[in-house]
């Protein structure tokens, strides 16, 4: 049964304004924005002053407001707002992937204790309904992997670099001017944004509530003309790709890093601010979702979908988590990578298990070989601080036994992984 909803909205930036416009032009949904809480008292806005407040309790303590929609940048303040709203019996819709990823177990407990709903479809992959699909369509499916392009900002930059020959800095400035990337773009280009998203996806795909700090992420900010030229000569593009994959019956592994993709890969032609998600499963096999991953209207439409779901009392049931299937996360896999470097000392600190290709020129050096994912995680700050650039080839080996003579089974996160 549908019911009318009064919305208390936190934030009126790109997504908040997108939601306002989408809601204004939508038919059939029984919801309206009652009040908007913002922080900046000096910013000019297109709505009259009486539509806004600067006191969060004007929304949180208002008995006429049914749901809180949280669309601010500050993850810790967002958690305070969301948790307090749920304690007051208000359901919540949020797009804050960092807040959800860092506090998911607490938020799920608050949902159950206070008999409210917390929905966050907009936190992952823009307009692509991947969370709802994992919850409903794949709830009893044996999933092999979920991977793809989860960040529209970095994908926009890489598209401009590879398709139009723009310098990285120029493409980044364009993304910032369009509102796809923040003034400080580290969250996007550093791979943190997709790491938070893959953490959330792991909860719905495999039932695990993980700490994002335990997941390796490296970004595209050190991309150089040497890397671009190497990729083009091999017929590849570079995409920033998060993976969550099943290593064996009881173990999954997660990572975020740039990846070479060839023209046969589903992600090869996912360009600009678009996202693409690949789900590989035992019975439904491979499915590919694509759509806008950044921008006010695409993200606003995902928020609106959650608001609509609340009109008939929908909530995530975390079905994979409640099945109590024994699954854990491990970094004990070997990843085949291309590493472009300048300082040889880096190779001593990040040792390779094996090397298949090596080149050393006057101003360009690289290695291709396997390195343990745990080694990468332990040295990720070092890799970020250097001028090195790391790219996965899409090939992985699962270490199946602890001793040095253990057999190794090669796995691939997708069938389009580059050939050995």
**Active site members:** 197
How many whole angstroms separate alpha carbon 304 and alpha carbon 122?
9
Rounded to an integer, what distance in angstroms lies between the CA atom of residue 227 and that of residue 223? 6
Q: What are phi and psi of 16, to 5 degrees?
A: -60, -45
Matching residue, tokens 């699962």: 398
Q: Count other Cβ atoms within 10 Å, centred on residue 98.
A: 22
Contact 278, 415 (CB under 8 A): no
Let me know: does 151 contact 297? Beta carbons within 8 Å: no
Residue written as token pair 């070989």: 369
Which residue carries 């090397």 as its tokens?
Answer: 355
Question: Is 248 within 8 Å of 237 (Cβ atoms)?
Answer: no
The 3-state DSSP class for residue 25 equals coil
Q: What is the number of residues in the chain?
A: 420
* Both structure tokens of 251: 């173990």
Rounded Cα distance, 241 and 349, in Å: 25
What are the CA-CA distances from residue 24 to residues 118, 229, 286, 418 (Å)? 23, 47, 37, 46
Query: Cβ atoms within 10 A of the Cβ of 160, count?
Result: 20
342 to 77, 81, 225, 382: CA distances (angstroms): 41, 46, 14, 13
């Amino acid at each position: 049964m549908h019911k009318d909803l009064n919305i208390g909205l936190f934030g009126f930036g790109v997504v908040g304004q997108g939601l306002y416009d989408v809601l204004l032009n939508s038919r059939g949904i029984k919801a309206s924005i009652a009040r908007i809480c913002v922080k900046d008292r000096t910013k000019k806005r297109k709505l009259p002053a009486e539509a806004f407040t600067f006191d969060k309790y004007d929304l949180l303590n208002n008995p006429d407001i049914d749901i809180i929609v949280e669309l601010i940048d500050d993850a810790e303040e967002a958690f305070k707002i969301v948790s307090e709203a749920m304690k007051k019996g208000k359901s919540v819709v949020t797009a804050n992937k960092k807040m959800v990823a860092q506090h998911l177990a607490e938020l799920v407990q608050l949902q159950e204790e206070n008999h409210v709903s917390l929905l966050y479809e907009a936190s992952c992959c823009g307009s692509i309904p991947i969370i709802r699909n994992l919850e409903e369509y794949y709830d009893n499916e044996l999933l092999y992997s979920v991977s793809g392009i989860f960040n529209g900002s970095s994908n926009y930059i890489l598209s401009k670099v590879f398709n139009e020959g723009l310098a990285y800095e120029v493409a980044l400035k364009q993304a910032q001017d369009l509102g796809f990337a923040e003034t400080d773009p580290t969250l996007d280009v550093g791979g943190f944004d997709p790491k938070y998203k893959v953490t959330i996806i792991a909860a719905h795909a495999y039932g695990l509530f993980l700490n994002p700090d335990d997941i390796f992420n490296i970004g595209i900010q050190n991309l150089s003309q040497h890397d671009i030229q190497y990729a083009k000569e091999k017929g590849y593009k570079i995409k920033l790709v998060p993976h969550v994959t099943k290593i064996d019956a009881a173990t999954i592994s997660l990572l975020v890093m740039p990846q070479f993709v060839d023209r046969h890969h589903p992600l090869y032609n996912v360009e600009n601010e678009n996202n693409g998600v690949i789900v590989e499963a035992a019975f439904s096999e491979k499915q590919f979702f694509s759509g806008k991953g950044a921008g006010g209207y695409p993200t606003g439409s995902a928020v609106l979908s959650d608001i609509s779901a609340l009109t008939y009392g929908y909530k995530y049931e975390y079905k994979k988590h409640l099945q109590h299937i024994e699954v854990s996360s491990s970094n004990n896999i070997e990843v085949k990578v291309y590493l472009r470097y300048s300082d040889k000392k880096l190779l001593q600190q990040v040792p390779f298990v094996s090397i298949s290709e090596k080149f050393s020129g006057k101003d360009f050096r690289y290695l291709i070989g396997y390195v343990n994912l745990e080694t990468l995680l332990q040295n990720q700050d070092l890799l970020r601080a250097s001028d090195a650039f790391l790219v996965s080839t899409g090939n992985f080996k699962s270490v199946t036994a602890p001793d040095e003579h253990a057999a190794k089974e090669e796995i691939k996160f997708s069938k389009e992984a580059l050939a050995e």
